[in-house]
Amino acid sequence: MIEFACTGCGKSFSVPDAYAGRSAKCKGCGATITVPTATKSVSDPAPVAKPGVRYRRLTADAQQIAHAFADFPAIKIIHTQGDPPDLYRIAYRVWGLDRATDGKPARRDRHEVEIQLTADYPRLAPKCRMLTPIFHPNIDPATICVGDHWTAGERLVDLVIRIGEMIAYQAYNIRSPLDGEAAMWADLHTAELPIDPANLHPPSL
């Protein structure tokens, strides 16, 4: 129903929505009045926006990751932020290297990584950084170099696995390193690599 008042005498009217735009004589003062277009009541629920591409991608990522790593001891999701999540904190139980105080790398089997899915994701690669110390040609304290291999069609679950493979030295690139010292070490110790040869692909994938 449309409720309105005559602009001449103030008499109130209530008519069906179908009368919007029609003109008539006011029964109170005889002035010509036009039924206004129906307006939405403030009590009416707001329209629900359809989820966009990014929302659907984040939702799919979250479902795949929860399924893949639910019972996989080498990779665990220890914290998420957002609904659906756009930030993950991941724990890896794989052997990698830490920079020891005497200059010789030391083995380390506990690592934590933060993966942030920016507003440009999946068009641009996630921002990935280590939260624990590591000695690796393609990782520095602020960045895990994944952008060179990223495509918008890559699944986040596959990126999580790839980072684990990097930590284990199953994957590394000494040609364009972030850590030159680690690149030199890897080049001189190829016979000792990978540090951890374990298969980091969960059986569910």
Whether 204 is covered by a domain: the verdict is: no
Contact residues for 123 (Cβ-Cβ < 8 A; gap 6+): 152
Q: Is the pLDDT of residue 205 over 90?
A: no
Q: What is the pLDDT of residue 42?
A: 47
Residue 39's pLDDT band, with cuts at 50, 70 and 90, is low
Asked if 32 and 80 sit in the same domain, the reply is no
- H/E stretch holding 33 reads strand 32-34
Domain holding 4, by residue range, is 1-48
Whether 205 is covered by a domain: the verdict is: no
Asked if 186 and 144 sit in the same domain, the reply is yes
Asked if 58 and 9 sit in the same domain, the reply is no
Provide the 3-class DSSP secondary structure of residue 175: coil
- Parallel, antiparallel, or unpaired for β 96-98 and 106-108? antiparallel
Whether 120 is covered by a domain: the verdict is: yes
Asked if 39 and 63 sit in the same domain, the reply is no
Asked if 43 and 64 sit in the same domain, the reply is no
Residue 45's pLDDT band, with cuts at 50, 70 and 90, is low
How far from the centroid of its chain's Cα atoms is residue 193's Cα? 32
Strand partners, 112: 91
Whether 88 is covered by a domain: the verdict is: yes
* Of 127 and 19, more confident: 127
Whether 31 is covered by a domain: the verdict is: yes
- What is the total count of domains within the chain? 2
Residue 137's pLDDT band, with cuts at 50, 70 and 90, is very high
Whether 198 is covered by a domain: the verdict is: no
CATH number at residue 178: 3.10.110.10
Whether 158 is covered by a domain: the verdict is: yes
pLDDT in tens, 69-106: 999 999 999 999 999 999 999 999 999 999 887 778 99
Q: What is the pLDDT of residue 38?
A: 62
Cα 58 from Cα 125, distance rounded (Å): 13
